[in-house]
Amino acid sequence: MLYILLFYIFLFVFSIFVLFWFNYWMTSMLTSVNGCKFCDIVKNKKELQLKEKPTCVVVNDIKPKAKHHFLVISKQHISKPTDLTVADVPLLEEMERTGRELLREHLKKEGEADTVEDMLRIGFHLPPLLSIHHLHMHIIYPISDMGLISRKLTFRPGKVFKPARELIEQLKEEAGVPDPLEGNPAKDDMHEKIPAQAIT
């Protein structure tokens, strides 16, 4: 009985990965034939943009996994996070900062004090779990709204979803950039808490 159960679990997991790879292949084909959807949003669909900065724009995710689910899209066409180098760190930091600003603005309108970091997920899907081959960062809040599959599989930090901070630190480490906070207790406090009332 146990072997049968394990077999079905394996079959289920295998089916999910086959589905992901199929989606990855199909998306690559569509992108190469029909053009990039996110480039079109950046250049031609200003009405969808919630916030714009010199390097990125923010839109709502069309399939939100939580009450607040934004996509921060790079204006520069970069296919995937694995194509990034340390030279792209300023872009990633600007994308994260922009997404956080918009989230705080929304929370302020709803009368909430500020972002609860433990309830916030910021990051990128990695191949093969890419829906569109154009760099975009997910801002999801609160993660308690997420369904079981999203929270434990598709948006779980790990092999298919890379938190933004981890990606930035990884790029710096690979390039041999020294950490200015190494040995400093402040390193544990990665994000400055900005009160919602400070946003105008």
More confident residue, 56 or 16: 56
Mean pLDDT of the chain: 84
pLDDT band of residue 128 (cuts 50, 70, 90) is confident
Q: Domain for residue 159, yes or no?
A: yes
Q: Give residue 30's pLDDT.
A: 40
Q: Of all residues in the chain, what percent are helix, strand and coil, respectively (each to 5)?
A: 50, 15, 35
**Is 135 in contact with 79 (CB distance < 8 Å)?**
yes
> Which residues span the domain enclosing 82?
36-178+194-198
Statement: residue 198 has pLDDT above 60: no
Q: Give residue 103's pLDDT.
A: 97
Q: Domain for residue 119, yes or no?
A: yes
Q: Residue 11 class from Cβ within 10 Å (0-12 exposed, 13-18 middle, 19+ buried)?
A: exposed
Mean pLDDT of 174-183: 75
**Residue 193 Cα to chain centre, angstroms:** 20
**Is 91 in contact with 74 (CB distance < 8 Å)?**
yes
Q: Domain for residue 108, yes or no?
A: yes
Into how many domains does the chain fold?
A: 1
**Does 136 qualify as catalytic in the annotation?**
yes
Q: Domain for residue 188, yes or no?
A: no
User: Which of the following is catalytic: 69, 133, 134, 136?
Assistant: 136
Mean pLDDT of 80-84: 95
Q: Domain for residue 120, yes or no?
A: yes
Which residue is associated with the tokens 């004090």? 113
User: Tell me, what CATH number does 169's domain have?
Assistant: 3.30.428.10
Statement: residue 196 has pLDDT above 80: no
Q: Domain for residue 22, yes or no?
A: no
Statement: residue 82 has pLDDT above 50: yes
Percent of the chain with pLDDT over 70: 73
